[in-house]
Amino acid sequence: DSVQAGQQVWNTVNLILRLDRDWKV
């Protein structure tokens, strides 16, 4: 499913951004 794939990518990006923010702090 294209929608499911897009959501999975968004979840990965969100996780990376969250980890990056935690590392900066």
pLDDT tens digit sequence for 5-23:
999 999 999 999 999 988 8
Domain range for 2 = 1-25
Which residues, including other chains, have CB under 8 Å from residue 19's CB and lie 6 or more apart?
A: none
Q: Label residue 1 by pLDDT band (50, 70, 90).
A: confident
Q: Measure the CA dihedral 10/11/16/17, to 10°.
A: 70
Q: In the predicted model, is pLDDT for residue 2 greater than 90?
A: no
Total domain count, the chain = 1
The overall pTM is greater than 0.75: no
pLDDT at site 18 = 95
Q: How far apart are CA 7 and CA 2, in angstroms?
A: 9
